[in-house]
DNA sequence: CTTTCGTGGTTTATCGTTACACTTCCTGGC
DNA sequence: GCCAGGAAGTGTAACGATAAACCACGAAAG
């Protein structure tokens, strides 16, 4: 029943040693004899003692956990990313916990409050809607690595995706495969500040321009939440409104999946009538019918680099910020006529 | 540079009040005058003070966060679940953080160590591979609600899915639609202890038996990680090995997505040659071609009930454990001949 | 005029660890 | 025989907040 949780001094008393010795044993410090160590461990086990991480953290500062802040829990991209990071951290005996920054700005600020972030040894900040000013406010003495597309103050360590290059690659591929009227689904030509949608639209426009095609604004189809359902409904709408296209660059694979469904609804065949390229190379994308041609952001490398930057900051609080840009590659599958 | 983080006593000194008064202001306690309050808030703002949650937690016990432990970050089911929970908790001004219990037993035990769990006000434990003994070890004075299928000691609060009934519903639907040789992909007839795969296979077998069909073991196709890729490869293999089927009950929607791809590879048409039903009703399932007929576990209700059980434990530490069983329903789409 | 009470605070004692400095005791070198 | 130095361990003071009890003072009550 309501028995109090066992504390370190309970163990110490029971084992007939000082609290410090228990602490020393549990932290594998060298100043404790072999038999004492065994005895303490036996008592720890017998009493079922478990360390209070909160107290340890308050005193020592180290927590052994890294936080990953993602915009939404249900974006597949971040689920896959979190998995990779978690595995990589386990090798260093660290632990990953994921938080959602949330849709609303209020919730985003609350998730990103210094108070919350300080609970971690380091933080990986997935693409967020914060502007520079917000990021400047959280200026903690805390290792942070930004993952994502937004422009951030230089003093941040950062792993960025080649958004523009990737979008260009995708669009060029569509052109090579014969598409001429290529829409960018989920793209935006302008936004209060640069974000994924604008970068990827920029790559799209660049590829079109280079090929002598017109990146006309009709072909830029914005989205709000980039959900599959929204993408499907939007494609249905624009087709019904009479938009003629023979290619779609969807800004994410999820958007592409919605587009695929919308095209199917409209009786259009992929890739014969309309070719389609996504961005992210989700696990699922290889298993759609047709398989989705997409841009692979090389997540394993992104993750490895991000963790390297984090460890660099662990080792040296004042390590000079690095700015890594990951490579992207095209993965061709059945949704384009290769 | 390396300027120390601002602490509550810094604020107190600067504002010319006691530390307790600052605490009282920040916690909206009533014993502080209006002008003092304003002045303190002004100083807080000016110094950029943010509370140290670790210290608060150590002293007061409350953390304002709930932990959700999921088996894997990249399972879509849990991503969607986490999203729902997070939204629901935000309404109570609480925060969700997600941890992965991991594939290996070692990592699972580490994630579930009392030490880790104690950092939360309450914990939602997604389906885990722990057995009763493990669960008994973690017997913290901590509100826990189990979400999922495994059998657990009665003293746990628990929201369970109607696995067997759902599987039966799925299989009955396949039979109604004319399927006669129905495989259960990802099912298991026996396992060291009951789990999702065995429950769902049980429902499948029950439905077949009731219809006078033979739940023959050839039709039980086990999986290991329930990934899309594995499901696809496995379906390809069993078809190549000559298995004749006209229906598949896939134990999860992800497995169904893999099956769909595998059937497509084999030149089989869904639903004309083989009908397919999944389980989970993921967001994506409505947007496949064909749309996936599936079992909807009514996640919103599960989430609401789970949080209700959690709040009950917040209010009364010794609340009698409840055992909620959610309802399931069939969602028919194009992957069956309805 | 004394008692009571509400308002607006402050003081004190922790919460459970760990950093740091300090003490023994023992071995060995010269 | 004496001192240096390592091995094994202990004592004390935080880390940064909050719970709980306490205090001063003016107003209302009797």
Q: pLDDT digit string (tens) for B301-314?
A: 999 999 999 999 99
Gap from B115 CA to chain A (nearest CA, Å): 6
Per-residue tokens: A252: 């994410």
Q: Mark yes or no for CB contact B54/A283 under 8 Å.
A: no
Give the count of beta carbons closer than 10 Å to the beta carbon of residue B125.
Answer: 25
C-beta of residue A308 within 8 angstroms of C-beta of residue A277: no
Q: Which of B259, B299, B282 is nearest to B126 (CA)?
A: B299
- Residue to substitute from B289, B317, B334, interface A, most A β-carbons within 10 A: B289
Q: What are the residues whose beta carbons fall under 8 Å from the beta carbon of A141, sequence distance 6 or more?
A: A317, B2, B3, B5
> pLDDT digit of tens for each residue in chain A (338 aa)?
446 789 999 999 999 999 999 999 999 998 899 999 999 999 999 999 999 999 999 999 888 999 999 989 999 999 999 999 999 998 888 999 999 987 566 666 666 677 888 899 999 988 766 666 666 666 667 899 999 766 777 888 999 999 999 999 999 999 999 999 999 999 999 988 888 999 999 999 999 999 999 999 999 999 999 999 999 999 999 999 999 999 999 999 999 999 999 999 999 999 999 999 999 999 999 999 999 999 999 999 999 999 999 999 998 888 899 999 999 999 999 999 98
Residue A325 phi/psi, 5-degree rounding, is: -120, 120
Residue B201 and residue B212 in contact, taking contact as beta carbons nearer than 8 Å: no
Containing H/E element for A3? Answer: none
Q: What's the per-residue H, E or C state across A31-49?
A: CCCHHHHHHHHHHHHHHCC
**Residue B106, number of CB atoms within 10 A of its CB:** 10
Strand C proximal to A20 Cβ, under 7 A: yes
Q: What angle do CA A253, A255, A259 make, to 5 degrees?
A: 110
Sequence-distant (≥ 6) Cβ neighbours of residue B35 within 8 angstroms: none
Nearest to A257 among B1, B260, B287 (CB): B287
Cβ-Cβ contacts under 8 Å, B226 against chain A:
none
At which residue do the structure tokens 């084992």 appear?
A: A15
Q: How many CB contacts within 8 angstroms connect chain A with chain B?
A: 154
A248 φ, ψ to 5°?
-135, 125
Residue A72 CA to residue A100 CA, distance in Å, equals 5
Give, in order, the Cα–Cα distances in Å from A331 to each of A313, B27, B264: 34, 54, 20
User: Among A66, A267, A287, A318, which would you mutate to test the B interface (most chain B Cβ atoms within 10 Å of its Cβ)?
Assistant: A287
- pLDDT band for B2, please (50, 70, 90 cuts): very low
Distance B79 CA to D18 C1' (A): 36
Spacing of C-alpha A28 from chain mean position: 35
Whether residue A271 has a cis bond before it, omega within 30° of 0: yes
Neighbours of B224 (CB within 10 A): 8
**Entry pTM:** 0.92
With a CB-CB cutoff of 8 Å, which residues 154-193 of chain A face chain B?
Answer: none
């Amino acid at each position: 029943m309501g028995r109090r949780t066992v504390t370190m001094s309970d163990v110490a008393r029971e084992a007939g040693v000082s609290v410090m010795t228990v602490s020393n044993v549990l932290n594998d410090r060298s100043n404790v004899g072999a038999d004492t160590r065994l005895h303490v461990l036996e008592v720890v086990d017998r009493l079922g003692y478990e360390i209070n991480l909160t107290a340890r953290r308050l005193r020592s500062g180290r927590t052994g956990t890294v936080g990953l802040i993602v915009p939404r829990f249900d974006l597949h991209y971040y689920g896959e990313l979190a998995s990779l990071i978690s595995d990589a951290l386990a090798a260093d005996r660290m632990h990953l916990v994921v938080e959602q920054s949330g849709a609303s700005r209020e919730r985003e600020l609350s998730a990103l409050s210094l108070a919350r972030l300080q609970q971690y040894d380091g933080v990986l900040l997935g693409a967020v809607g914060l502007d520079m000013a917000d990021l400047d406010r959280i200026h903690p003495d805390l290792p942070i690595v930004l993952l994502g597309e937004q422009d951030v103050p230089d003093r941040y360590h950062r792993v960025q995706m080649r958004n523009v290059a990737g979008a260009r690659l995708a669009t060029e591929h569509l052109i090579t495969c014969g598409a001429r009227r290529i829409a960018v689904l989920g793209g935006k030509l302008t936004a209060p500040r640069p974000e994924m949608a604008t970068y990827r639209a920029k790559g799209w426009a660049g590829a079109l321009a280079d090929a002598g095609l017109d990146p006309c604004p009709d072909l830029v189809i914005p989205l709000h939440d980039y959900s599959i359902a929204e993408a499907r409904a939007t494609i249905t709408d624009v087709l019904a409104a009479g938009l003629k296209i023979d290619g779609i660059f969807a800004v994410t694979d999820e958007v592409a999946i919605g587009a695929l469904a919308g095209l199917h609804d409209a009786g259009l065949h992929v890739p014969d009538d309309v070719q389609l390229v996504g961005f992210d190379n989700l696990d699922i994308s290889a298993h759609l019918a047709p398989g989705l041609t997409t841009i692979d952001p090389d997540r394993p490398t992104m993750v490895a680099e991000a963790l390297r930057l984090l460890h660099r900051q662990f080792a040296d609080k004042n390590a000079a910020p690095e700015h890594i840009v990951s490579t992207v590659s095209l993965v061709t599958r059945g949704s384009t006529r290769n």
